[in-house]
Amino acid sequence: MKYMELIAPCHFGMEAVLKREILDLGYEISKVEDGKVTFLADVEGIAQANMFLRTTERILLKTGEFKAVTFDELFEKTKAIPWEEYIPKDGKFWVAKANSVKSALFSPSDIQSIMKKAIVERLKSVYGISWFQEDGASFPIRVAFMKDVATIGIDTSGVSLHKRGYRQMTVKAPITETLASALIMLTPWNKDRILVDPFCGSGTFPIEAAMIAADMAPGMNRSFLAEDWKHLVPRKCWYDALEEAQDRVNLDIDTDIQGYDIDPEALKSARANAKMAGVDKLIHFQQRAVKDLSHPKPYGFIITNPPYGERLEEKEALPQLYREIGESYNRLDKWSMYLITSYDRAENDIGRKADKNRKIYNGMLKTYYYQFLGPKPPRRKKD
């Protein structure tokens, strides 16, 4: 059985969550770096990782890693990679993305152009042809330079994995599905505990929580680019992954997941998205302001993405809004609260210091994940 290295990029600060997911799938971690986890897998792992990993943005098939400080060096070392093992004669290939940090080669467009020429030269020599029709399967190539070391991989996912296939309707400033899942998985929440999102927007936190509760794979309702790589990943791998995902779903569960928002249009979007995801029966959505938040049971969780005040008119309302968050939280019995925001006076206006605080980049925006920890519930007595 041939093993290969797969690269799973993630949000900065979420590497430990993704690492745990990969280990749970049964694969061996080879490297953990800022914003990505590399692991060893067979070809089945390409289908498994795309189907089941909740917190990665895409799965890259690693083809090479080398140091290059000149374009000549980049050309020759790219050309030395056995591209014919990945890209067939009719394959459509291009260098889709180039990033460079603290490296001598820093122009993305030049890096992309040189690499494309090198790959073409390699494949022309191997296949004995001078022109490529490129009307077959797609092979988008990505390269990341870090301190002059280039890491190269082919994207197996296509559309980013945060696109689960359920978000048909959205509202302003949504949080991505991958980040929402990672933030939920950073908490001790499980399907037997209450979860409330008082700023649910288009429903991402409640929907991702419901999918976790029902053991519903995030990739069940979408396709992946590497499904067309029949020479590399047998169709059976994809059929087996989907069959396993379908077998694992359990919607017959007793769970308490709630999403509130003051905006009726947001709730309309949330309900439509939950229905599309197939978890609408597991979530209760309601129009309600955060100041009216209440729940009769103890030991619940608030997990939410409140307004940040990126616009001036919103910024003026933030102190009062965050005071209301604090007042509502204080009324709840033995609850924990987790909120992601870039508002730098969040703790001050909530009225208490967070027990834990984690810096997270939501896209290019620096945010903080404030964690206010309630007590653990007593252990249930065994029958």
Dist. CA 50–CA 37, nearest whole Å: 14
Maximal C-alpha separation, the chain: 74
Which pLDDT band holds residue 380 (cuts at 50, 70, 90)? confident
Instruction: Indicate yes or no: pTM above 0.85.
Output: yes
* CATH topology (fold) of 4-155: VC0802-like (3.30.2130)
pLDDT of residue 315: 82
Question: CB neighbours of 76 closer than 8 A, spacing ≥ 6?
Answer: 118
pLDDT at 381: 66
pLDDT at 187 over 70: yes
pLDDT in tens, 239-284: 999 999 999 999 999 999 999 999 999 999 999 999 999 999 999 9
d(CA 165, CA 162): 9
Would you state the pLDDT for residue 95?
A: 99
Other residues' Cβ atoms within 10 Å of the Cβ of residue 172: 12
Q: Where in the chain is the domain with CATH 3.30.2130.30?
A: 4-155
Residue 375 has pLDDT above 60, yes or no: yes
Mean pLDDT value across residues 351-370: 92
pLDDT higher than 90, residue 172 = no
Write out the DSSP string of 54-81.
SS-S--EEEEEEEE-SSHHHHHHHHHTS
**Above 90 in pLDDT, residue 291?**
yes
* 338-351: average pLDDT: 96
Residue 331 above 70 pLDDT? yes
pLDDT at 66 over 70: yes
**Domain 177-216+251-372: assigned CATH number:** 3.40.50.150
**Dihedral in degrees, nearest 10, Cα atoms 352, 190, 203, 354:** 10
Residue range 95-130, pLDDT digits in tens: 999 999 999 999 999 999 999 999 999 999 999 999
* pLDDT tens column, 127-139: 999 999 999 999 9
Q: How confident is the model at residue 383 (pLDDT cuts 50, 70, 90)?
A: low
Q: Where in the chain is the domain with CATH 3.40.50.150?
A: 177-216+251-372
201-246 pLDDT, tens per residue?
A: 999 999 999 999 999 999 999 999 999 999 999 999 999 999 999 9
CB 46 within 8 A of CB 68: no
The pLDDT score that the predictor gives to residue 63 is 99
Distant-in-sequence, close-in-space partners of 26: CB < 8 Å, separation ≥ 6: none
pLDDT over 70 percentage in the chain: 97
So what's the pLDDT on residue 170?
Answer: 75
Q: What is the pLDDT of residue 131?
A: 92
Q: Which residues contact 279 (CB under 8 A, 6 or more apart)?
A: 207, 210, 211, 214, 216, 251
Under the phi-then-psi rule, with left for phi > 0, alpha for psi from -120 to 50, and beta for the rest, what region is 158?
A: left
Residues 6+ apart with CB under 8 A from 284: 256, 257, 258, 259
pLDDT of residue 379: 82
Q: pLDDT band for 309, please (50, 70, 90 cuts).
A: confident
- Non-local (6+) Cβ contacts of 105 within 8 A are 68, 69, 70, 71, 74, 111, 145, 148
